[in-house]
């Protein structure tokens, strides 16, 4: 372990409540007060980002907590400039904690003359002096290969499994649903953790954002269905999938989505949907509309991020957080760890 007193956390403006919650959890684990480093992250009148760090960070192990969510470009620039400020202030190591990794959906060329923006973002982060990435449920796990630095990709499925066991009680009639063929591995992971069968909703798109047809692969008759995915943007596909599942005999439909982007008409769609509940994490700071939506529930990520940061700082395993017997005690008080 480096000869450093304590890990230090600094936050951009993307998700300050999560940064403060992570700091509180770190304080509990360390038995001392941990709070985000005093800094200002502001904008000039023309929109330029300016950062000033008010504390000494020389030789420190710095963790920048910043989701690159909407406004994606502004939050990405904040992250890059904070990293540059820390590097020029002689921080020993800089880790970017990115709960929601923006541009991850642009991880390959779908047609001619298009970019691979996720790779460009990876190059920018590395060029800014960031030496390690900690994120949650990358849209495509191969994005880890875009970096030449360590990338720790945490998974929401262990946390979701704790929540499902706490909320659903008897799981004998529960079935996990993948909303497309590409998300099968994610759905299978949750299904394995809760001991439930799995089905797939296969969708065919005419163009981006519009679903022409959906087919259910598997028998969902009499099942309480849990749709699992990493991102919910406009919620059109999700709400349509819930309708199709009920048409095929499901008794009720719930959704567990890691990143609640929830843009455009998403909140209205979810409110009027046949889904009984949509569960998201706080990887993206929820708006007031999200908080007030009666069928949206938010699962905290501060416990897992705080422990992951401490594990990275101390040089211990991050992958241990994928196991229920390790994660359960971290979420003690929120869920039963039986």
Q: 132 among the known binding-site residues?
A: no
Please count the CA atoms within 13 angstroms of the CA of 246 that sit on its side-chain side. Answer: 12
Flag whether 139 is marked binding: yes
What backbone torsions phi and psi does residue 143 show, to the nearest 5 degrees? -60, -25
Residue 237 labeled ligand binder:
yes
Whether residue 337 is annotated as binding a ligand: the answer is: no
Pair 239, 275: CB distance under 8 Å: yes
CA distance 49 to 33: 29
Of the residues 119, 203, 240, 276, which is catalytic?
A: 203
- Give the position of tokens 């609640």: 260
Q: Is 330 helix (H, G, I), strand (E, B) or coil?
A: helix
In 3D space, the residue among 207, 225, 229, 208 whose CA is nearest the CA of residue 217 turns out to be 225
CA 152 – CA 4 distance, rounded (Å): 21
234 is in an annotated binding site: yes
Q: Is 47 annotated as a binding residue?
A: yes
Strands 49-53 and 39-43: antiparallel
Residues 99 and 154: beta-carbon distance below 8 Å: no
Collapse the DSSP code of 28 into the 3-class scheme (helix H, G, I; strand E, B; otherwise coil) and give the result. Answer: helix
173 is in an annotated binding site: no
Active site residue 203: yes
What whole-number distance in Å separates Cα of residue 173 and Cα of residue 277?
17
Looking only at the bridges linking them, the beta strands covering 174-178 and 198-207 are parallel
21 labelled ligand-binding: no
Cα separation of 291 and 281, whole Å? 12
Q: What is the DSSP letter of 29?
A: H
The answer to whether the annotation marks 307 as part of a ligand binding site is no
Annotated binding-site positions: 46-48, 105-106, 139, 180, 205, 229, 233-237
Catalytic residues: 203
Q: Which residues carry a binding-site annotation for D-ribose 5-phosphate?
A: 205, 229, 233-237
């Amino acid at each position: 372990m480096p000869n450093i007193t304590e890990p230090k956390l600094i936050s951009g403006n993307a998700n300050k409540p999560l940064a403060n919650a992570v700091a509180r959890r770190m304080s509990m684990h360390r038995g001392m007060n941990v709070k985000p480093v005093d800094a200002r992250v502001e904008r000039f009148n023309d929109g330029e980002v300016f950062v000033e760090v008010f504390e000494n960070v020389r030789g420190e192990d710095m963790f920048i907590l910043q989701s690159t969510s909407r406004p994606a470009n502004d939050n990405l620039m904040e992250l890059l400039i904070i990293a540059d400020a820390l590097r020029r202030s002689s921080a020993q190591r800089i880790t970017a904690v990115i709960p929601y990794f923006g541009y991850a959906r642009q991880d390959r060329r779908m047609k001619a003359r298009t970019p691979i923006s996720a790779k460009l973002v990876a190059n920018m982060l590395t060029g800014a002096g960031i030496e390690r990435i900690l994120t949650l449920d990358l849209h495509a796990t191969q994005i880890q290969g875009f970096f030449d630095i360590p990338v720790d990709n945490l998974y929401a499925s262990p946390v979701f499994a704790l929540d499902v066991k706490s909320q659903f009680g008897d799981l004998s009639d529960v079935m996990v649903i993948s909303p497309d063929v590409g998300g099968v591995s994610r759905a299978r992971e949750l299904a394995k953790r809760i001991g439930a069968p799995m089905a797939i909703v296969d969708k065919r798109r005419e163009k981006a954002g519009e679903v022409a047809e959906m087919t259910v692969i598997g028998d969902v008759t009499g099942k309480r269905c849990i749709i699992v995915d990493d991102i919910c943007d406009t919620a059109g596909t999700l709400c349509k999938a819930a309708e199709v599942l009920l048409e095929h005999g499901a008794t009720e439909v719930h959704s567990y989505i890691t990143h609640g982007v929830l843009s455009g008409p998403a909140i209205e769609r979810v409110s009027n949907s046949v889904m009984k509940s949509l569960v998201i994490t706080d990887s993206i700071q929820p708006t007031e509309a999200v908080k007030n939506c009666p069928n949206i529930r938010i699962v905290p990520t501060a416990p897992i991020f705080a422990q992951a940061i401490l594990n990275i700082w101390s040089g211990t395993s991050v992958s241990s957080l994928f196991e229920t017997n390790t994660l359960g005690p971290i979420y003690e008080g929120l869920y039963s760890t039986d």
